[in-house]
Amino acid sequence: MKPDQPLKPHPILPDYYPDLARRPAFVRGLFDRTAGYYDRVNRLFSLGSGSWYRRRALVRAGLRPGMTVLDVAVGTGLVARQALAITGDPQSVVGLDVSAGMLAEVGRLLKIPLIQGLVEQLPVTDAAFDFVSMGYALRHVADLNATFREFHRVLRPGGTLLILEIARPAPPFKRALLEFYLGRLIPLLSRLTTGNRDMQTLMRYYWDTIENCVPPETIIEAIRATGFAQAGCTVDLGLFRAYFGRKAGAAVSLSQISRLSGPASGHPDRSARAGRFAADRSVGARPAETARKAHPAGRSVAPPGPVRDDPMSGRPEPLATNHRREG
């Protein structure tokens, strides 16, 4: 598959939508209607280990204080929350999601800049972030190649991409066990604990997208083919996968930027530098009312909000090698 051709993460799933044209509305509506229950169910099927794993994966990929992060498909902020704990600055982590319901929910939980937009057409300026993250949402995009091209575009030279996912286990016994747990038990428990039928549908859909997703090798090759200098994947328990990509070029340090821009007094004025990321805080409160203005490249961009534009303070640390690695 060439990088300029569409690459679907999985085939049409007729139990949920009849054709590709109706898929985006189905996915967006499903997440809108379940946003208020999502954290509760996530804690149920992750058995409380989700936060620890997300934070470890971010640190392993090189995230540290001073970096700026775009968390794509932010949902209720499960990955963004851990990124914020690492960077220590609410203005350094920006969340993006297509679902107005999810943005409203994360806006209630986290005080970070938020953007409503499509993953395949990120409403963000070029080379704006040091780190792009995505947690368990790659199966919900329309085109993997377009998604990876956008991730590459918004990263600064030397920037890092990290995508957390669940892949179908190869051994038949593990696969059958996971299918029972995620495909049957969790959907049932989701309905019983929330009383929400859509939550049951979401968790069934969650498993069906895992079951039908393209293989990890295809994802790694697509990341590499869309311009990343390095691409690969670390695997935990034969199930949890952390795909990574490195954009070519040297990272620029904060001291280098300071020398180029001249002496500065005090902390940079965030409001004066707000337009770089084109993020809008009002999205979480009033997603449907968010205005758009034209991006120089023809993309739709949210009006600027109070987002910090500090560069990364050094080159990312190399990924750890004490886990099985592919790529």
Q: What is the mean pLDDT of residues 262-277?
A: 36
Give the pTM: 0.79
What pLDDT is attached to residue 66? 95
**Tokens at residue 277, please?**
């990321």
CB atoms within 10 A of CB 32: 18
**317 vs 184, which has greater pLDDT?**
184
Are 142 and 26 contacting, i.e. CB atoms less than 8 angstroms apart? no
The highest-confidence range among 46-50, 216-220, 308-312, by mean pLDDT, is: 216-220
Q: Which of the 8 DSSP states describes residue 17?
A: -
What pLDDT is attached to residue 239? 87
Q: Which CATH number fits domain 20-317: 3.40.50.300, 2.10.109.10, 3.40.50.150, 2.40.480.10?
A: 3.40.50.150
Are 280 and 304 contacting, i.e. CB atoms less than 8 angstroms apart? yes
pLDDT tens-digit map of 270-317 = 333 334 565 433 333 333 333 233 332 333 333 333 333 332 333 333
CA distance 86 to 64: 6
**Tokens at residue 94, please?**
């920006």
Mean pLDDT (the chain, rounded): 80
Q: 61 pLDDT band (50/70/90 cuts)?
A: very high
**254 vs 46, which has greater pLDDT?**
46
pLDDT tens-digit map of 66-113 = 999 999 999 999 999 999 999 999 999 999 999 999 999 999 999 999
Q: Which of 78, 64, 125, 272 is nearest to 115 (CA)?
A: 125
